[in-house]
A and B are shown apart, each in its own frame.
Chain A
Amino acid sequence: MVAIVAVAAILLLKLVDYQVIQAPAINAESMSRRSITTTVPAIRGDIVDRNGKILATTVISYDINVDPTLVQPFNRMVNGVETQISVQQVTQELASILKMKPADVTAKLTGTSRFSQLAKEVDGITYLRIKKLGIPWVYPEKVPHRVYPNGALAGNLLGFMGADGVPLEGLEYSQNKCLAGVDGNETFQRGVDGIKIPGTADVKVAPQDGGQLKLTIDADLQYYAQQVMAKYVRDEKADWGSAIVVEAKTGKILAAAEAPSVDPNNPTGVSADNRSSRIFRATFEPGSTIKTVTAATAIDQGVATPTSQVIAPQTTYVLGNYRISDSHLHPNERLTLQGILIESSNTGIIQIGIKVPYATRYNYWQNFGLGKPSDIGFPGEAGGEIHQTAPDGASVYTSMFGQAMTVTPLQTAFIYQTFANGGVRLAPQLLSSCTAANGTVTAAQKVADPVRVLKTSTANDIVAMLENDVFQKGGIGITAQIPGYRIGGKSGTAQIANGKGGYGLLHAISFIGVAPAEDPKYVLAVTIYKPRTVGTSIGATPPFKMILEQVLRMFRVPPSTGQAPKIPARW
């Protein structure tokens, strides 16, 4: 009897020990063995154009993983008959589906490791084909995969992601805060068959998907501009080319086309030099497109008018023996400031520009946005270089026609945006908005205040001179004419420093213009760097014309009526 009582007491004590004292620890141990916590990946937000067309999106792809220690023949129903499938046969099947060599597949299936990755980020169809094979030791794993449905369209702007899903370049990198989400997790208890045990509670942290980034870019125009630039860069055997279309009254960039371009789906398809955006990062001496700045400065300061007169020689000397020449042979010409722009005369513009102190011109350059990045939101944006104090005596003069300073293609476009907008420079806008997953819309880009650079009358004078540059004979501008429309523009054929204190034989050619000239709505800046089949900016006007025609068509700009008063070019 005593023994029974003793045993009962011991059992009672053990019961209390298990049920009360050790209960929390045992429950925790039990839960940890039964519960599974998995990460629920957040979906990265889309990048869309101004009309909502998707430029970048995220889909689910699959990593195809294998446990090599479990690789062995298995049974499969073939025509209703259970048939054993050899490892050799399934190796052939996998190689065929994954477009791999059978030997490579065999290598992946062999070893003592419990993990081997057969293929990374295969698409849905490939996944389904592998799943249909019914291989028990293959474990597909879902992974988010970034896709760019339009390939290289705006590829240089969008940037791309690394293989590990980390943004590496372009807007993918700089706008990661908007685009990236926050992963969640899911915890559940499961039985041996992997099915949730009835009544077990899930503990979830819901993923927060990324936001949608909307650009100011128009995808259709962007495509067309990229097509045009790709053709001309190829035909002129140039290093690269760019075209920027800007809405003159808003500062919104409608197209930022480059060639060569990168397909973000396959960034290694082009050299590393071509994987970023030169529109924002490349700097070069702009050449004659800056003559309009010199002219505008002089007019704004009241020391010149469009009809100011000079005698422009072929060659002149400043500072005693520093020679400045025009690009083409000519006798002394009696040019107005208008004529200087049409002829793109270096010897003429320095006679106008020298009337304005260098420090004043420097202030104007700053107001035009030169010498510093625009903070447009593109990573690594360059600011170009302007000098507060002239590096040497000659640069006081050469800076009047676009040497001794560097700019980005973006900056050149916004110089002309200033002319087209009555003398007010607007901040460049590339990012329209960021819409969070919960629908909250925020500005994706902080837009700086407008800057009054020129008097309205000065800007109007410059636009009229740009129009005369295109419709009057005598210069390259006439090749940019578009029938039915009033166009204004200025060419530039800039020498390129050779790194040895001089200039090389190749040029950076450009043509920048506004349309329609009677009320400028659009600005287009075309630059082709180091063309080898053409030596002047006459190689830049065909792509300028083609793209501008498309802009006018696309945005339903009615043909112009009338023409600007002719400004005499000679006297």
Chain B
Amino acid sequence: MSAAVSYRATSNARPARPAQRPAFAVVQGARTAAVRNATSRLWVLGTIVIGFIIIAILNLLMTLATSAGVYQVANLKARQASLQLSTQIVGQQVDSLASNQNLATAAQALGMVANANPVYLDISKSKVYGSASQAAVGNQNPISGNLLANAEWTTRTNPKQLQAAVAAEQAKATKVPVAVAKTPAVNTSKATAAAESVASGISGASQIGLAGSGIPAAVSH
């Protein structure tokens, strides 16, 4: 209040000039500041609105992306399940080929018999234990054929193909050409046409049991 100005009226008198008149003057920039403030508020408001819009759009995009991702995950999981099933099917076929029943039968088909007179070499003592002799067949090895049941023995080595493959390898070693049977090395009891068409989408069932050189894998067991 100390800065307040008082006025006193007098008759017939020109209004006296105030002894001290406040010096009004156009304040440069005042309007500009107000405008600026208003503009600033608009900017803030606009930013917020735009921000909300962006967030909403991002949210929408995220939702879309997430939704698509879920379907992709679902597809991948389905593929994973399919591959696991393929692995299981092939694994069971390998187990069947690796079963003692199959290996023993395949070995016998190749004419393999255990030698009852093994010979051992003691390298450290330069000594030979036992007397070498040819493995006996017939009465000396009276067990012919597998005698143990196996309901899971569904994939079997084809003895003829096995013999042909071995003959081919031997011929290759001696560079004598030998015709190799074209029949598959593995007989899959369930390898019907329909099953093969299904299995072909799995991992190539027809190649089961074949190593890179064409020798049935069962031989190496």
Closest to A194 in B: B74
Pairwise interchain contact A149-B96, C-beta atoms closer than 8 A: yes
Chain A residues with a Cβ under 8 A of chain B: 54, 59-60, 97, 123-129, 132, 147-153, 195-196, 198-199, 219-220, 223, 226-228, 230-231, 234, 261, 263, 265-266, 269, 483-484, 546, 549-550, 552-553, 556, 558-559, 561
Could you tell me the distance in whole angstroms from the C-beta of B89 to the nearest C-beta in chain A?
Answer: 4
Pairwise interchain contact A553-B118, C-beta atoms closer than 8 A: yes
Excluding A124-B88, A150-B101, A553-B115, 5 further A-B contacts by CB distance (< 8 Å) are A124-B85, A231-B143, A263-B149, A552-B118, A559-B120
Asked if B165 CB lies within 8 Å of chain A CBs, one says no
Pairwise interchain contact B100-A150, C-beta atoms closer than 8 A: yes
Q: Which residues of A contact B67 (CB under 8 A)?
A: 198
Residue among B66, B148, B151 with max Cβ neighbours from chain A (10 Å) = B148
Closest to B87 in A: A124
Number of chain B residues whose Cβ lies closer than 8 Å to a Cβ of chain A: 45
Would you mind naming 26 contact pairs between A and B with Cβ atoms under 8 Å apart?
A124-B89, A124-B92, A125-B89, A127-B85, A129-B195, A147-B92, A150-B99, A150-B100, A151-B149, A151-B153, A195-B70, A196-B74, A198-B67, A198-B69, A199-B66, A219-B100, A220-B100, A223-B100, A226-B148, A227-B147, A261-B148, A263-B151, A266-B151, A269-B151, A550-B114, A553-B118
Pairwise interchain contact B89-A151, C-beta atoms closer than 8 A: no
Asked if B190 CB lies within 8 Å of chain A CBs, one says yes
Pairwise interchain contact A123-B92, C-beta atoms closer than 8 A: yes
Pairwise interchain contact A151-B143, C-beta atoms closer than 8 A: no
Could you tell me the distance in whole angstroms from the C-beta of A269 to the nearest C-beta in chain B?
Answer: 6
How would residues 64 to 85 of chain B score, 1 for a CB under 8 Å from any chain A CB and 0 otherwise? 0011011100100000000011
The complex places the Cα of A223 from the Cα of B69 at a distance, in Å, of: 52
Q: Which 4 A-B pairs have the closest CB atoms?
A: A151-B150, A265-B151, A149-B95, A230-B147
Closest to B62 in A: A198
Asked if B218 CB lies within 8 Å of chain A CBs, one says no
Chain B residues with a Cβ under 8 A of chain A: 63, 66-67, 69-71, 74, 84-85, 88-89, 92, 95-96, 98-101, 104, 114-118, 120, 122, 129-131, 142-143, 146-153, 190, 194-195, 198-199, 202
Known A-B contacts A125-B89, A152-B148, A198-B67; A228 and B143 likewise in contact (beta carbons under 8 Å)? yes
Q: Which residues of B contact A266 (CB under 8 A)?
A: 149, 151
Q: Which residues of A contact B122 (CB under 8 A)?
A: 558
Q: Which residues of A contact B104 (CB under 8 A)?
A: 223, 227
Could you tell me the distance in whole angstroms from the C-beta of A335 to the nearest C-beta in chain B?
Answer: 33
Pairwise interchain contact A227-B143, C-beta atoms closer than 8 A: yes
Known A-B contacts A125-B198, A558-B129; A151 and B152 likewise in contact (beta carbons under 8 Å)? yes
Pairwise interchain contact B148-A230, C-beta atoms closer than 8 A: yes
Pairwise interchain contact B149-A261, C-beta atoms closer than 8 A: yes
Could you tell me the distance in whole angstroms from the C-beta of A48 to the nearest C-beta in chain B?
Answer: 13
The complex places the Cα of A552 from the Cα of B195 at a distance, in Å, of: 45
The complex places the Cα of A549 from the Cα of B115 at a distance, in Å, of: 10
Pairwise interchain contact A198-B151, C-beta atoms closer than 8 A: no
The complex places the Cα of A65 from the Cα of B122 at a distance, in Å, of: 64
Q: Which residues of A contact B151 (CB under 8 A)?
A: 151, 263, 265-266, 269
Closest to A542 in B: B142
The complex places the Cα of A324 from the Cα of B166 at a distance, in Å, of: 62
The complex places the Cα of A228 from the Cα of B142 at a distance, in Å, of: 9
Pairwise interchain contact A129-B198, C-beta atoms closer than 8 A: yes
Known A-B contacts A223-B100, A484-B131; A265 and B85 likewise in contact (beta carbons under 8 Å)? no
Known A-B contacts A149-B96, A196-B70; A265 and B150 likewise in contact (beta carbons under 8 Å)? yes
Instruction: Point out the residue from A150, A220, A561 that lies within 8 Å of B150, measured CB to CB.
Output: A150
Q: Which residues of A contact B116 (CB under 8 A)?
A: 483, 549
Pairwise interchain contact B150-A152, C-beta atoms closer than 8 A: yes
Q: Which residues of A contact B74 (CB under 8 A)?
A: 195-196
Known A-B contacts A125-B89, A149-B96; A559 and B148 likewise in contact (beta carbons under 8 Å)? no
Pairwise interchain contact A227-B146, C-beta atoms closer than 8 A: yes
The complex places the Cα of A220 from the Cα of B118 at a distance, in Å, of: 18
Q: Which residues of B contact A199 (CB under 8 A)?
A: 66
Pairwise interchain contact A198-B63, C-beta atoms closer than 8 A: yes
Q: Which residues of A contact B71 (CB under 8 A)?
A: 195
The complex places the Cα of A483 from the Cα of B136 at a distance, in Å, of: 14
Known A-B contacts A150-B150, A265-B150; A125 and B63 likewise in contact (beta carbons under 8 Å)? no
The complex places the Cα of A126 from the Cα of B192 at a distance, in Å, of: 11
Pairwise interchain contact B100-A483, C-beta atoms closer than 8 A: no
Q: Which residues of B contact A129 (CB under 8 A)?
A: 194-195, 198
Known A-B contacts A152-B150, A261-B148; A559 and B198 likewise in contact (beta carbons under 8 Å)? no
Known A-B contacts A223-B148, A266-B149, A266-B151; A151 and B101 likewise in contact (beta carbons under 8 Å)? yes
Closest to B122 in A: A558
Q: Which residues of A contact B147 (CB under 8 A)?
A: 226-227, 230-231, 234
Closest to B116 in A: A549
Closest to A198 in B: B66
Q: Which residues of A contact B131 (CB under 8 A)?
A: 484
The complex places the Cα of A558 from the Cα of B95 at a distance, in Å, of: 33
Q: Which residues of B contact A263 (CB under 8 A)?
A: 148-151
The complex places the Cα of A231 from the Cα of B143 at a distance, in Å, of: 7
Pairwise interchain contact A147-B149, C-beta atoms closer than 8 A: no
Could you tell me the distance in whole angstroms from the C-beta of A161 to the nearest C-beta in chain B?
Answer: 14
